């Protein structure tokens, strides 16, 4: 499995709740409406939870602050991923998604990369 992992920090001025609402109600539907065009086999949005033991896990002051969310987009094959970044219909969707990201993501404080996903359990 080939995927893009996107560790996201929200745009200044947005509360965490506003960030999550925009992601869920505006941005994610664009992705989901274009799964076939992008040939995505999986789209996972991961958001942090606040629990009593969260500070023990997050180690504030020792580690970087947590991200506001993580998006993972996966493709079954390298060819499917290549299609998502080379075919004109998919590139049109990519441009739309990139423009929309400016509405809720602080891109300078976020990070993304291409990865090979391996499940061990």
78-119 residue pLDDT tens: 999 999 999 999 999 999 999 999 999 999 999 999 999 787
Secondary structure class of 120 (helix, strand, coil) = coil
CA distance readout (Å), 18 to 2, 5, 23, 60, 105: 30, 22, 9, 23, 11
Instruction: Report the alpha-carbon angle 5-6-10, nearest 5.
Output: 160
* Residue 99 confidence (pLDDT): 98
Q: What is the pLDDT of residue 120?
A: 84
pTM more than 0.85: yes
2-49+67-114 belongs to which CATH class?
A: alpha beta
Asked if pLDDT for residue 27 goes beyond 80, the answer is yes
The least confident of 20-24, 48-52, 76-80, 104-108 is 48-52
pLDDT at 118: 80
CB 28 within 8 A of CB 45: yes
pLDDT score for 121: 84
- Cβ 106 vs Cβ 12: under 8 Å: yes
Residue 71, H or E segment: strand 69-75
**Percent of the chain scoring above 70 in pLDDT:** 100
């Amino acid at each position: 499995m080939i995927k893009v992992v996107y560790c996201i920090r929200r745009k200044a001025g947005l509360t965490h709740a506003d960030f999550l609402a925009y992601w869920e109600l505006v941005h994610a539907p664009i992705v989901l409406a274009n799964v076939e065009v992008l040939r995505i086999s999986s789209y996972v949005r991961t958001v942090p939870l606040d629990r009593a033991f969260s500070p023990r896990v997050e180690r504030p002051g020792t580690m970087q602050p947590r991200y506001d969310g993580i998006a993972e987009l996966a493709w079954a094959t390298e060819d499917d991923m290549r299609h998502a970044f080379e075919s004109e219909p998919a590139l049109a969707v990519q441009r739309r998604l990139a423009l929309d990201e400016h509405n809720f993501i602080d891109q300078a404080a976020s990070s993304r990369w291409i990865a090979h996903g391996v499940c061990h359990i």
